[in-house]
Amino acid sequence: MRIAIRYFTKSKKGNTKKLADRLSSKLGVEAKEVKEDLNEEVEALFLLNAMYAATIDKEVKTFLKRNKDKIKTLYNVSSSASGSSTLKAVKKVAEKEGISVSDKYYSTVASWLALNKGRPNEEDLARLDKFAEEVTNSSI
């Protein structure tokens, strides 16, 4: 199965990058920023992103538009201080571009200022591992 991992973050805290690195280690696939396009068609794209001003960043939207013909199924992974998932926002953009978005997704709270100190933590990362196993062991 061809898998790719792309992430976007503005945060200096590195929450999304931390998740991307963990997923990369788990799947043996290099995590790259969304500014780097896909080189080939992938069966599963793990897209890691966060909520910014109640939506996803324009760089994520632009990445999806540029790579729409190379993504068979998108799996959304997100973190936010509120714990809100970006799935709905990602799905809206991706489906407009003809990209299939799985209902299987991962979302976690992340530290921001004084909120959720230490998150994502080891328990959150273990849940991410389980999510990755479920997705890659299922028929995509």
Specify the CATH number for the domain of residue 54. Answer: 3.40.50.360
Q: Which of 105, 109, 137 shows the shortest CA–CA distance to 18?
A: 109
Collect all residues with Cβ–Cβ distance below 8 Å to 126 and sequence separation of at least 6: none
Residue 116 pLDDT more than 70?
no
CA 28, 48, 15: angle at the middle one, nearest 5?
95
- Chain segment 41-52, per-residue pLDDT in tens: 999 999 999 877
- Give the structural domain span for 76: 3-137
Residue 139 has pLDDT above 60, yes or no: no
What does the alpha-carbon distance between residue 13 and residue 1 come to, in Å, rounded to a whole number?
Answer: 32
Q: Which residue would you say has higher pLDDT here, 30 or 80? A: 30
Of all residues in the chain, the percent with pLDDT exceeding 90 is 67
Is residue 83 predicted with pLDDT exceeding 70? no
Count of domains in the chain? Answer: 1
- Indicate the SS3 state at residue 5: strand
